[in-house]
Structure 1
Amino acid sequence: MVGQSDAGQVGWEKLANLAKPTLKALFADPARLDSWCTTLDLPGGTIRFDWSKTHLDAAAWAVLADIARAMDFENRRAALFDGDAINASEGRAAEHTAQRGVGKETSVDEAAALHARTRALVEAIHDGALGEVKSLIHIGIGGSALGPALAIDALTRDGARVVVHVVSNIDGCALEAAMAQCDPATTLIAVASKTFTTTETMINAASALGWLREGGVGDPYGRVVALTAAPDKAVEWGVDETRVLPFPESVGGRYSLWSSIGFPIALALGWEDFAAFLDGAAAIDRHFLDTPLAENVVVRAAFGDLIYTQARGCQTRAVFAYDERLKLLPSYLQQLEMESNGKRVTADGKPLGRPSAPITWGGVGTDAQHAVFQLLHQGTHVIPVDFLAVIISGDSLDPAHHRILLSNCFAQGAALMAGKAGSDLSRDYPGDRPSATMLCEDLNPATLGALIAFHEHRTFVSAVMLGMNPFDQFGVELGKEIAKQIETGDGPGFDPSTEALLALAGIGD
């Protein structure tokens, strides 16, 4: 990935200087809805991607397309799927799409073999090979936990073949809460760590082993499954190699739920549903790879994002899921987007010189309407909003529940755009506030997989346009290093505030 070229820089300046029509003015075009709204037919049903209530227009699109050409976007997209070493700082490819069957042939074949190994273990557990298994405590952090937690919470509301508890926090309260809901005799432990050295994960894993031992399990290690790109370290730690499920080094942590990190999803749902999850994501891969920019829903979303960060001064983007099953999606997207693109240098190590990723935040409607929407409608910050909703209800209650839920979702987008003149300023809604809507026909493994893959590629497009590497994350290391210095007592000393806090907490000398 190259840094920003002179042509790209000129393009950003041109984008910022374009006329800024209002949304009402843009809708004077009778073809606007058809131009900026696309429905994709996917394995699990349709998803409608409606970007018509954003400030995308032909003029902005033309400038952004020029920037994409200057940044060699189409070749960078091809390089992603070809398995080239696009993660230049770490000298490796980013091959999460190969886990879904789209990518370099040898990598796709390797992924299929590793999936077969995972499937064999999942089906053996379901068949009773490890005795009665009612629960799994899945221990990981970051990408090793957020993806499984999202998928399991979204897709097991009607029950699971094995109940999965995802634990990521080093705070012992989190692990204790999971263990309190499980019987050691019928519980497995999954330890998910790319390096199998992650401090939080390994301490939680050791405590979980102790819980098994205290609960009468004679061979605690025999109840552990390791999910890692470092299988030798897992075996050295004590896991039998038959229960080590590897994944390639070229699969990054926040892109890893498609690999053996998805083991808890498959265990909870069954392999057929996990395969459908992969298929839904693969459908988006093929759309993103094969569809020209002008019709590409992924590129459209990223271009919309860039209008707001680069030309309209917006520092945040809000995501509201009008479906309880998607309540963890904003948290998942926070890591995906801010760890990928929250950087101040280009891929070639030069200062970025412009805004990077917006701050991603959000919640669940209609709860959020009574908490934060005041600011969205009348605050001084203009915040682009993504709405996600599902046509088919996930509950069996009075249909009024779902009808009112969807009505609120659509009403909020309409109100943000239209605004309303008030009798005084306190009752005045300025309007012209942008939103996009993703409306799924149904929520199932395939459509959830498609939604996640859509956001992965949306993040990648923004990174290419800005000349960044979205596949490293050095920014997370400094705090970890200092925490280790505190733990070992080898630090050089800290500022007076930190020293006082350590003393009050009884940490260190």
Structure 2
Amino acid sequence: MNVFATEAGTDLYEHATVMGKAHIASLFQQNAERFEDFSFSVPGLMLDLSKQRISSETLNLLCELAREKHLKQWIEDLYNGEKINTSEDRPALHTALRAPADQRLNVDGEDVIAPIHENLSRMETLVNCIHAGQWLGCTGHPIDTIVNIGVGGSDLGPFMACKALSEFTTDSSRKVDIHFVSSMDGSHISSLLDRLNPTRTLFVISSKSFTTIDTLANAETAKEWLKRADQHDQMNEALILKRHFIGVSATPKRMVDWGIPESNHLYFWEWTGGRYSMWSTIGLPIALRIGMQGFRDMLAGAHAMDTHFRNTEFESNLPVLLALTGIWNINFLGITAHAILPYDGRLSHLPSYLEQLEMESNGKNTTRTNEMVGYNTCPVLWGEIGTNAQHAFYQLLHQGTIPVMCDFITCSTRYEGPNNTELKHQHQLNLSNCLAQSQILALGDTVIEGAENSPPHKRYRGNQPCSTLLLDKLTPETFGMLIAMYEHKVFVQSVIWNINPFDQWGVELGKTIATGLLPALNGSSDGVSLDSSTRGLINHINTKR
């Protein structure tokens, strides 16, 4: 199946035969006003596409392709709660998680907005209680250490946001240390527990199903650690769970079965995809880090991007343009590698977050009608803080043989205040590196006079398409806008590719097989069917124990 066998798709293939031979440097030579023509803004955020291998005709054809794919209707279905997650027969309502309290959205006859805000209020009560030092451990000491136990979306989003927004702590939130545990092998939690005081530690167990083996294994380890620490005081297990555990899940009964009392529950819903969940009560660690007002500011920023995405024409719609430019690179120019390059240390975990968001959403090989795709879908994403990456994999970007599209992400201003002269200078150095690298990757050494006389091993071919995302400054609000923009980008691309971005069946089989292998690793192979490699590896492991 070829979703590009349309009028606009056919025109794009023909257009690509010309643009595919063009060098980005030549496009700037032909049009000195490219930045004015291909940069787009909303308050607080600017997107520069001028270093992409595109022309006005390219964008016009891509927007026409989006109209042929009924993108506007798909956007309305997303916002209106239609069951666009067809394989799981449910809506995808992450936009509702950041909608204002005075909005209403009926899904299957019930309003979903009011319960969202009820849970935000419940979360605010817990946050304020902890910040005020009123949540007491078993021995009466105030809780001052939070350990979030989760995996995937229950870990990556809150972890990224807490790092990105750590400068926005309040006087109260600054008193609380926050840690994240996700590793199944115990390496995270074992080294962490050695450093913590059990009388002052509260564990947040985050799992939509509350059956995730990675999360529950770490939770059991935490519970046993608390019980051992409490052996002299002889507190019963129920009291330990009440004083030292909060559960965040869409399945309250399983939290109760595990032992967490209802007073310590926060809820979200089955329609909340893990990689879209940090806007929900899964974002509890974020609220604990920056305060509830900061968390609401982050929601407001995401909602501002939601409004822009829903109401703005494709030709100036930031998520749509970012998505369509990606479609152009992937499906018409054959570029299937994508580097995420934040030039801001606070965004160090953004590449990992976007890896999950994009590759788990759009790493699909079947259409919504269960036909095999006949075209590339999601590219391979990776990335690193820009200045670190310059000393790691930029060699490949500049002189390797693989075409790569790059997103440069940075902030115009930082270190405001009269006493930050040296830090402001460092920010200027950072910006100069960001702008220089995107310039050279796109334009090559044409920016250097006489470079054509250099030996081949010193030449920079350029022509790597680059987008630049420039925040006025990083705040909870602009951070929310940035993440929501990437979410909508992923959705737009899924519509063009006719795939479902809201399921992740590809990860399920590995979990099932892993559970089935446990008996063999414990010395019993009865009923376990193994290939020779897996059998040999298990036998080798068992001889070493």
| TM-score interval, normalised by the smaller of the two chains | over 0.9
Deviating 4+ runs (over 6 angstroms): none
Aligned counterparts of 2:355 and 2:4: Cα–Cα separation in 1: 29
Cα deviation code 1:229-288 (max 9, x no counterpart): 111111111101011101011111100000010011111221011101111111111110
Aligned residue in 2 for 1:312:
333
Aligned counterparts of 1:445 and 1:181: Cα–Cα separation in 2: 30
Aligned residue in 1 for 2:93:
95
Whether the 8 Å CA contact 2:92–2:502 is kept in 1: the answer is yes
Aligned residue in 1 for 2:66:
68
Aligned residue in 2 for 1:19:
19
Q: Secondary structure at the match of 2:60?
A: helix
Whether the 8 Å CA contact 2:149–2:219 is kept in 1: the answer is yes
Aligned counterparts of 1:491 and 1:466: Cα–Cα separation in 2: 41
- Within 5 Å, which residues of 2 pair with 1:178-257? 178-216=192-230, 218=235, 219-222=239-242, 223-257=244-278
Code of the aligned partner of 1:414: Q
Whether the 8 Å CA contact 1:278–1:449 is kept in 2: the answer is yes
Alignment TM-score, normalising by the size of structure 1: 0.94
Q: Secondary structure at the match of 1:270?
A: helix
Code of the aligned partner of 1:111: I
Whether the 8 Å CA contact 1:321–1:364 is kept in 2: the answer is yes
Q: Secondary structure at the match of 2:272?
A: coil
Aligned residue in 2 for 1:48:
46
Deviates more, 1:309-318 or 1:15-24: 15-24
Aligned residue in 1 for 2:475:
444
Deviates more, 1:177-186 or 1:458-467: 177-186
- Consecutive unaligned residues of structure 1, counting only runs of 5 or more, are none
Aligned residue in 1 for 2:290:
269
Deviates more, 1:58-67 or 1:330-339: 58-67
Aligned counterparts of 1:12 and 1:197: Cα–Cα separation in 2: 47
Aligned residue in 2 for 1:475:
506
- Within 5 Å, which residues of 2 pair with 1:324-403? 324-393=345-414, 396=420, 397-403=422-428
Cα deviation code 1:446-503 (max 9, x no counterpart): 1111111111001111111110100000000111111011014576422211111111
Whether the 8 Å CA contact 1:147–1:332 is kept in 2: the answer is yes
Aligned counterparts of 1:491 and 1:288: Cα–Cα separation in 2: 53
Q: Secondary structure at the match of 1:166?
A: strand
Aligned residue in 1 for 2:125:
120
Alignment RMSD, CA only?
A: 2.1
Aligned counterparts of 1:122 and 1:452: Cα–Cα separation in 2: 23
Code of the aligned partner of 1:417: A
Aligned residue in 1 for 2:160:
150
Q: Secondary structure at the match of 2:19?
A: coil
Aligned residue in 1 for 2:147:
137
Aligned residue in 1 for 2:113:
108
| Aligned residue among 36, 55, 58 for 2:56 | 58
Code of the aligned partner of 1:33: F
Code of the aligned partner of 2:529: G
| Aligned residue among 269, 286, 289 for 2:307 | 286
- Structure ID, larger Rg: 2
Aligned counterparts of 1:330 and 1:491: Cα–Cα separation in 2: 42
Aligned counterparts of 1:9 and 1:203: Cα–Cα separation in 2: 49
Q: Secondary structure at the match of 1:197?
A: coil
Whether the 8 Å CA contact 1:3–1:347 is kept in 2: the answer is no
Q: Secondary structure at the match of 1:220?
A: helix
Aligned counterparts of 1:225 and 1:3: Cα–Cα separation in 2: 48
Aligned counterparts of 1:428 and 1:18: Cα–Cα separation in 2: 25
Aligned counterparts of 1:3 and 1:19: Cα–Cα separation in 2: 21
Aligned counterparts of 1:410 and 1:469: Cα–Cα separation in 2: 36
Aligned counterparts of 1:418 and 1:394: Cα–Cα separation in 2: 31
Whether the 8 Å CA contact 2:19–2:53 is kept in 1: the answer is no
Whether the 8 Å CA contact 1:51–1:435 is kept in 2: the answer is yes
Cα offset, 1:6, TM superposition: 4.7
Aligned counterparts of 1:39 and 1:315: Cα–Cα separation in 2: 27
Q: Secondary structure at the match of 2:310?
A: helix
Aligned counterparts of 1:307 and 1:135: Cα–Cα separation in 2: 47
Deviates more, 1:456-465 or 1:113-122: 113-122
Q: Secondary structure at the match of 2:112?
A: helix
Code of the aligned partner of 1:128: G
Aligned counterparts of 2:415 and 2:184: Cα–Cα separation in 1: 33
Whether the 8 Å CA contact 2:355–2:381 is kept in 1: the answer is yes
Aligned residue in 2 for 1:407:
432
- Consecutive unaligned residues of structure 2, counting only runs of 5 or more, are 106-110, 137-141, 446-451, 521-525
Aligned counterparts of 2:85 and 2:340: Cα–Cα separation in 1: 28
Deviates more, 1:414-423 or 1:235-244: 414-423
Aligned counterparts of 1:308 and 1:380: Cα–Cα separation in 2: 16
Aligned counterparts of 1:196 and 1:96: Cα–Cα separation in 2: 20
Whether the 8 Å CA contact 1:11–1:66 is kept in 2: the answer is no
Whether the 8 Å CA contact 1:161–1:268 is kept in 2: the answer is no
Aligned residue in 2 for 1:34:
36
Whether the 8 Å CA contact 1:320–1:385 is kept in 2: the answer is yes
Aligned counterparts of 1:16 and 1:366: Cα–Cα separation in 2: 33
Q: Secondary structure at the match of 2:435?
A: helix
Alignment TM-score, normalising by the size of structure 2: 0.88
Aligned counterparts of 1:507 and 1:267: Cα–Cα separation in 2: 46
Whether the 8 Å CA contact 2:60–2:315 is kept in 1: the answer is no
Cα deviation code 1:185-210 (max 9, x no counterpart): 11100000000000000000000111
- Within 5 Å, which residues of 2 pair with 1:461-500? 461-489=492-520, 492-500=528-536
Cα offset, 1:177, TM superposition: 2.5
Deviates more, 1:321-330 or 1:151-160: 151-160
Q: Secondary structure at the match of 1:382?
A: coil
Aligned counterparts of 1:4 and 1:353: Cα–Cα separation in 2: 8
Cα deviation code 1:157-186 (max 9, x no counterpart): 576342110111112111123223321111
**1:154/1:422 Cα in 2 relative to 1: closer, same or farther (>3 Å)?**
farther
Code of the aligned partner of 2:514: A
Aligned counterparts of 1:439 and 1:197: Cα–Cα separation in 2: 40
Cα offset, 1:398, TM superposition: 3.8
Code of the aligned partner of 1:169: S
Code of the aligned partner of 1:356: T
Cα offset, 1:65, TM superposition: 2.0
Aligned counterparts of 1:507 and 1:450: Cα–Cα separation in 2: 53
Cα offset, 1:107, TM superposition: 2.0
